[in-house]
């Protein structure tokens, strides 16, 4: 009752304060997953868990271990905060403990596209100096860097230390003597023979100066079978296992032909001989018509346990209709098998990536959000939860959790989600094909330039928006599709209206809802606890990688702008 009275007071103040910049007050945000697979395949015992490990936009996983503690990180490109870090004691139950890039002063994404920014982080622990290191590439602003910490739980990683070498996808390896080395993707020594011809390079990393030292050497040119012109040797890792050095890389690009291959050497500097059974992970030979497909698998990392067994993490996609997916590249996990001649294997032949995995002796924590879960944020904390993201590094936060207690406030900043800036948008990953999102917003636009509501975002030219706005003194709700269009010989994001509601009467607490069945989205609103449809079965393929390109996944959340325009 008190909260309802508080909402009414907010609405009165909004109308009275006509001179101030308008603010949209979001009361709560509920996300509910409803995928068929989880309903049809309930977990039968407490030692089983669902794959993917992290559903939704969690690409390029890397993993390390210190004693019984496991840590895992992912790419975030131009989203902030960046590089989520997860912790587990058992490889099954994972909790996000923070983000490696959590200060706007660490890196800049200013003006970058959503598929630029932070690529392929790799995390490693050096027991010789008891430091954690993470190496990464900021595409478009700065290049390669390393950050470090002695305690990931504190959330205080160093500012980036920029590294002077060409290429992307660095990972760091500490040999048995504690000396560090960085292996990365780069141009070959010889002129490129074809588009996508790359090489894996190695150079020493001095842990005293945190800089690259000594000569650089190509460990592998091209990939597994150079005669087949393999593309994009990338995401390389080096391991020392039972006295042998292993070089593992992805190749084939991040689409259907993505794969993981491995090589072995008696010396760190090579010569690295390929495993005859390569690739050790791929789904490219399987039928597109298979049930519950996992596609695009690759970019793997492996880790041993104190007990001596090995596990892998890697990225993959779950199309709702092959090859269309709007969840982005997700983090999967599998146990590692070993060939008779001592190479790690994830899949061979027609092996499929399992969607349910068991780890004997480890019980699943029911509090970990997997399968079909429902989560509601009441915005009662002074900080956003780890699931929330913004676009690019905000010099000033576009939201407040303290200005109006129990609400997330978004100012109508003069920035839109169509620009390569930081709009007033707070977003979370879509993690299911079938899902429902509901929020309640109190918002009175003062000018025709102001709007607020829900946004489904893939990229600047690929969005859906359900926004409250005003025109000719009449407040309505508009369903908007953002599309790429050539304007004055330049490709720009352009808004087009799909549907408009009748004039709104009760905007002190308007409820908005999005329902997805996978291939389509449907949109609803409610003024007095009666849902009205405004858009039925809008094409979700518009937000899939097959249409948009790029490397990110789809996000959904709350949005406000003071530069709204409809033509």
Per-residue confidence band for 11, with pLDDT thresholds at 50, 70 and 90: very low
In a domain, 365, yes or no: no
* Beta-sheet strand order (sheet of 295-304): 295-304, 310-317, 330-335
Same domain, 218 and 256: yes
What letter would DSSP give residue 227?
A: G
User: pLDDT tens, 355-386?
Assistant: 999 999 999 998 898 999 999 999 999 999 99
Same domain, 214 and 299: yes
Is the model's pLDDT at 6 over the cut of 90?
no
Could you tell me the residue range of the domain that residue 513 belongs to?
2-33+372-561
Is the model's pLDDT at 69 over the cut of 70?
yes
Per-residue pLDDT, averaged over 150-168, amounts to 96
Same domain, 426 and 463: yes
Joined together, the tokens standing for residue 520 give 């389509």
Among candidate residues 358, 389, 419, the one where a domain is terminated? 358
Same domain, 10 and 157: no
In a domain, 364, yes or no: no
Largest CA distance in the chain: 77
User: pLDDT tens, 37-47?
Assistant: 999 999 999 99
Mean pLDDT of the chain: 94
User: pLDDT tens, 254-308?
Assistant: 999 999 999 999 999 999 999 999 999 999 999 999 999 999 999 999 999 999 9
Same domain, 349 and 385: no
Q: What is the CATH number of the domain that holds 334?
A: 2.115.10.20
CA distances from 360 to 65, 119, 335, 528 (A): 19, 34, 11, 51
The CA distance from 397 to 394, in Å, is: 6
3-state secondary structure (DSSP) of residue 257:
coil
User: pLDDT tens, 114-141?
Assistant: 999 999 999 999 999 999 999 999 999 9
Q: Residue 7 has what pLDDT?
A: 47
In a domain, 178, yes or no: yes
Same domain, 291 and 394: no
Same domain, 343 and 390: no
In a domain, 155, yes or no: yes
In a domain, 488, yes or no: yes
- Helix/strand/coil percentages in the chain, nearest 5: 5, 45, 45
In a domain, 259, yes or no: yes
Q: Residue 12 has what pLDDT?
A: 47
Same domain, 197 and 78: yes
Same domain, 303 and 390: no
CB 234 within 8 A of CB 220: no
Q: Residue 476 has what pLDDT?
A: 96
In a domain, 566, yes or no: no
Residues identified as active-site? 60, 234
Per-residue confidence band for 229, with pLDDT thresholds at 50, 70 and 90: very high
Does this model's pTM top 0.85? My answer is: yes
Backbone dihedral region of 252: left (phi > 0), alpha (psi from -120 to 50 degrees) or beta? left
User: Which string of b and e fits 15-39 if b means at least 16 CB within 10 Å?
Assistant: eeeeeeebbbbbbbbebbbbbebbe
Q: How many domains does the structure of the chain reveal? A: 2
The CA distance from 454 to 557, in Å, is: 6
pLDDT > 90 in the chain, percent: 92
Location of structure tokens 């210190």: 66
User: pLDDT tens, 78-107?
Assistant: 999 999 999 999 999 999 999 999 999 999
Q: What is the CATH number of the domain that holds 487?
A: 2.60.120.200
Among candidate residues 304, 336, 358, the one where a domain is terminated? 358
3-state secondary structure (DSSP) of residue 263:
strand
Among candidate residues 326, 358, 390, the one where a domain is terminated? 358
Joined together, the tokens standing for residue 225 give 């079978």
Same domain, 76 and 101: yes
Pairing of strands 281-282, 310-317: unpaired
Per-residue pLDDT, averaged over 393-399, amounts to 91
Per-residue confidence band for 567, with pLDDT thresholds at 50, 70 and 90: low
Same domain, 115 and 54: yes
The CA distance from 89 to 344, in Å, is: 23
Residues in the chain: 567
In a domain, 567, yes or no: no
User: pLDDT tens, 461-508?
Assistant: 999 999 999 999 999 999 999 999 987 777 789 999 999 999 998 788
Per-residue confidence band for 192, with pLDDT thresholds at 50, 70 and 90: very high
Same domain, 409 and 304: no
CA atoms within 13 A on the CB side of 94: 25
User: pLDDT tens, 415-466?
Assistant: 999 999 999 999 999 999 999 999 999 999 999 999 999 999 999 999 999 9
What letter would DSSP give residue 538?
A: E
Q: Residue 151 has what pLDDT?
A: 97
CB 30 within 8 A of CB 376: yes
Is the model's pLDDT at 330 over the cut of 50?
yes
């Amino acid at each position: 009752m008190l909260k309802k009275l508080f909402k009414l007071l907010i609405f009165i103040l909004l109308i009275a304060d006509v001179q101030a910049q308008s603010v949209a007050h979001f009361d709560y945000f509920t996300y509910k997953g409803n995928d068929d697979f989880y309903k049809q395949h309930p977990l039968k015992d407490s030692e089983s868990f669902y794959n993917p490990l992290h559903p939704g936009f969690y690409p390029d996983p890397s993993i390390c271990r210190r004693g019984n503690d496991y840590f895992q990180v992912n790419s975030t490109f131009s989203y902030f905060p960046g590089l989520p870090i997860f912790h587990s004691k058992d490889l099954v139950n994972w909790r996000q403990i923070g983000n490696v890039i959590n200060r706007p002063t660490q890196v800049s994404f200013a003006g970058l596209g959503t598929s630029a920014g932070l690529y392929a982080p790799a995390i490693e622990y050096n027991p010789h100096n008891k430091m954690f290191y993470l190496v990464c590439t900021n595409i478009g602003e700065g290049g390669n860097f390393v950050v470090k910490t002695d305690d990931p739980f504190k959330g205080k990683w160093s500012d980036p230390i920029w590294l002077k070498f060409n290429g992307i996808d660095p990972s760091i390896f500490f040999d048995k003597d504690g000396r560090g080395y960085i292996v990365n993707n780069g141009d070959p020594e010889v002129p490129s023979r074809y588009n996508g011809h790359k090489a894996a390079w190695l150079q020493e990393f001095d842990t005293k100066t945190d800089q690259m030292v000594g000569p650089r050497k190509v460990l592998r040119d091209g990939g597994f079978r150079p005669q087949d012109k393999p593309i994009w040797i990338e995401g390389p890792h080096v391991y020392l296992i039972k006295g042998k050095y292993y070089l593992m890389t992805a190749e084939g690009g991040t689409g259907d032909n993505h794969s993981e291959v491995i090589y072995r050497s008696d010396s760190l500097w090579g010569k690295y001989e390929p495993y005859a059974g390569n690739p050790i992970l791929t789904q490219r030979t399987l039928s597109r018509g298979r049930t519950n497909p996992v596609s695009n698998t690759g970019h793997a990392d492996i880790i041993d346990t104190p007990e001596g067994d090995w596990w892998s993490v890697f990225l993959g996609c779950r199309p709702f209709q092959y090859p269309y997916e709007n969840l982005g590249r997700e983090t999967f996990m599998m146990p590692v098998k070993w060939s008779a001649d001592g190479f790690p294997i994830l899949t061979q032949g027609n092996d499929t990536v399992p969607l349910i995995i068991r780890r004997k002796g480890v019980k699943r924590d029911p509090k970990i959000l997997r399968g079909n879960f429902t989560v509601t944020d009441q915005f009662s904390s002074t900080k956003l939860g780890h699931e929330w993201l913004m676009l690019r590094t905000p010099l000033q936060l576009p939201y407040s959790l303290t200005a109006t207690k129990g609400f997330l406030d978004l100012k109508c900043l003069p920035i839109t989600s169509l620009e390569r800036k930081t709009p007033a948008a707070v977003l979370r990953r879509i993690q299911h094909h079938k899902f429902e999102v509901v929020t309640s917003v109190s918002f009175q636009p003062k000018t025709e330039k102001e709007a607020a509501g829900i946004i489904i975002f893939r990229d600047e030219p690929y969005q859906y928006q359900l926004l409250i706005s005003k025109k000719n003194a009449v407040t309505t709700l508009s369903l908007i599709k953002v599309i790429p269009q050539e304007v004055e010989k330049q490709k720009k994001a352009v808004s087009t209206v799909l549907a408009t509601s009748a004039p709104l009467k009760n905007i002190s607490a308007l409820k908005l809802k999005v329902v997805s069945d996978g291939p389509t989205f449907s949109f609803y609103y409610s003024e007095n606890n009666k849902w009205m449809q405004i858009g039925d079965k809008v094409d979700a393929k518009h937000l899939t990688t097959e249409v948009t390109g790029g490397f990110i996944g789809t996000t959904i959340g709350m949005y406000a702008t003071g530069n709204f325009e409809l033509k």
